[in-house]
Amino acid sequence: MDEELVHLARELERILAELKPVVDRSVRLRAQESRRDAVNILWEKFLSSFLYYARKKSQEKGQNFFHGLSLNRVFGR
């Protein structure tokens, strides 16, 4: 793997490590019915912003960011 791909892999690993405690906190907060909807809204906003950014960059660069990504491999874990 070339140096740039190694760097990308490390960045993604770092981001995942930062997201794990956020997911843990979200699960804990969602256990409280009074907070469930608020947590869902926060995650919807986060995921929507990420997907919007990826789609926007795809359009700017004339690429489909999601082309070649397998949902079976993503959700199959």
Q: What predicted TM-score, i.e. pTM, was given to this entire model?
A: 0.84
- Domain coordinates in residue numbering, the chain: 3-75
2-45 pLDDT, tens digit each: 999 999 999 999 999 999 999 999 999 999 999 999 999 999 99
DSSP states along 8-75: HHHHHHHHHHHHHHHHHHHHHHHTSHHHHHHHHHHHHHHHHHHHHHHHHHHHHHT--TTTT--HHHHH
41-71 pLDDT, tens digit each: 999 999 999 999 999 999 999 999 889 999 8
> Tell me, what's the pLDDT at 76?
86
